């Protein structure tokens, strides 16, 4: 069978942009960890290859079959989150992972893919303008993994579970009065929310507001990250030449703060290029979201674009002091198998929507 027939209908621009980010991530994780760990970049390379395989193979599966199975996939995902409570592995005081021997799974990351799938399934059955009943069902379904993730505790990932839902509801024509009412409710409830945040979460918010008040504890990550990014100036210090990361000043330089490592070694030019790549990926997916005829496919595209771009923006904003430290990955660049595979599944799902649309357009005009 010819490759042109197998890969017909693929959006190779989207594939190329994603694969570049994966390769760029492995390269910079090598730089960020080689002075401390000897094999993390090898593991990330394996995760990256697995992610590329998912991106190439998943479009061969009709996304409508996955939508049909989405209630069962959702239940499996929730089951894994419940399992974390009983058999999860605790790292740095948080129980978020399930050890599978050679691989540690973070179910809350996988739920990002599941949330996009199940929300598209629910909204797709409401063919007309969204009514409050449908919105209530979506919010009820999303609230279960949100609460379970929040209890791990993992506020950052819990919030990211809501991000694609917001984008999908907005595209679905959610009443502006509901949006305004939700915003007002959050403002009114903010004192209650504050009281129920963990101490470390409160400290992170306070550190964001006034980093100089606690420079060696709660604000340490932000200050060191800003120093690393700023010291890179226009063209950077050079590959493997970063001092903040190599001299152990910058914590989590290969995970949540990988962008600071990139900024220090490659400078503003390459850092800005990374921003453009995320924007291009988001715009490309939104472009297809406006083209596909199937309403569930549209929801998938807009949910995926909203999540990828918003999570990238929050992570980057956090590293340069424009947002509180919330502990979320930079898609495709941060170290971590669960994050890599999850975002690969999401892009693969979008590519399936694009492929089906192109094939149906070819057959039916």
The predicted pLDDT at position 330 comes to: 96
Q: Is residue 301 part of a domain?
A: yes
Residue-wise pLDDT for 61-109, tens only, equals 999 999 999 999 999 999 999 999 988 888 767 788 898 877 888 999 9
This prediction's pTM? 0.93
Q: Is residue 239 part of a domain?
A: yes
Residue-wise pLDDT for 56-65, tens only, equals 999 999 999 9
Q: How many domains does the chain have?
A: 1
Q: If you write DSSP's letter for every residue of 149-218 in order, what string do you get?
A: HHTTT-HHHHHHHHHHHHHHHHHTT--HHHHHHHHHHHHHHHHHHHHTS-HHHHHHHHHHH-GGGSTTTT
- Identify the domain containing residue 185 by its residue range: 25-364
Distances (CA, A) of 16 to 11, 72, 170, 222, 365: 9, 32, 29, 32, 28
Q: Is residue 8 part of a domain?
A: no
Residue-wise pLDDT for 282-338, tens only, equals 999 999 999 999 999 999 999 999 999 999 999 999 999 888 888 899 999 999 999
Of the candidate ranges 91-95, 111-115, 116-120, 252-256, the one whose mean pLDDT is the lowest: 91-95
Q: Is residue 333 part of a domain?
A: yes
Q: Is residue 230 part of a domain?
A: yes
Q: For tokens 């893919």, what's the residue?
A: 113
Q: For tokens 């390269």, what's the residue?
A: 27
**b/e burial code for range 37-69 (CB count within 10 A of at least 16 → b):** eeebbebbbebbeebbebbbebbeeebbebbee
Distance CA 365, CA 360 (A): 7
The tokens describing 185, both together, are: 């409710």
């Amino acid at each position: 069978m010819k490759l042109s027939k197998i890969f017909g209908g693929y959006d190779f621009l989207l594939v190329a942009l994603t694969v570049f980010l994966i390769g760029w991530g492995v390269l910079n994780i090598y730089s960020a960890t080689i002075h401390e760990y000897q094999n993390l970049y090898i593991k990330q390379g394996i995760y990256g290859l697995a992610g590329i395989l998912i991106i190439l193979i998943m479009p061969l599966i009709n996304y409508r079959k996955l939508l049909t199975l989405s209630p069962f996939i959702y239940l499996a995902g929730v089951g894994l989150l419940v399992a974390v409570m009983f058999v999860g592995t605790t790292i740095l005081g948080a129980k978020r992972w399930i050890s599978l021997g050679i691989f540690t799974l973070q179910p809350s990351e996988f739920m990002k893919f599941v949330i996009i799938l199940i929300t598209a399934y629910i909204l797709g059955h409401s063919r007309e303008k969204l009514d409050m009943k449908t919105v209530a069902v979506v919010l009820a379904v999303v609230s279960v993994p949100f609460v379970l993730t929040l209890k791990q505790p993992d506020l950052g990932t819990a919030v990211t579970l809501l991000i694609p839902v917001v984008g999908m509801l907005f595209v679905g024509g959610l009443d502006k009065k509901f949006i305004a009412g939700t915003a007002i409710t959050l403002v009114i409830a903010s004192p209650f929310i504050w009281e129920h945040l963990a101490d470390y979460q409160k400290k992170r918010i306070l550190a964001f507001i006034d980093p100089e008040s606690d420079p060696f504890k709660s604000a340490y990550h932000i200050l060191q990250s800003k120093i690393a990014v700023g010291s890179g100036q226009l063209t950077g210090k050079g590959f493997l030449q970063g001092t903040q990361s190599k001299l152990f000043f910058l914590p989590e330089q290969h995970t949540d703060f990988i962008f600071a490592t990139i900024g220090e070694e490659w400078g503003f030019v390459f850092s800005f290029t990374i921003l453009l790549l995320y924007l291009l990926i988001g715009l490309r997916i939104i472009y297809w979201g406006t083209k596909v005829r199937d309403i569930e496919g549209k929801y998938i595209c807009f949910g995926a674009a909203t999540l990828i771009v918003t999570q990238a923006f929050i992570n980057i904003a956090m590293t340069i002091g424009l947002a509180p430290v919330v502990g979320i990955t930079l898609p495709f660049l941060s170290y971590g198998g669960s994050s890599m595979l999850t975002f690969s599944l999401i892009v693969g799902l979008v590519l399936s929507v694009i492929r089906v649309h192109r094939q149906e357009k070819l057959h039916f005009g």
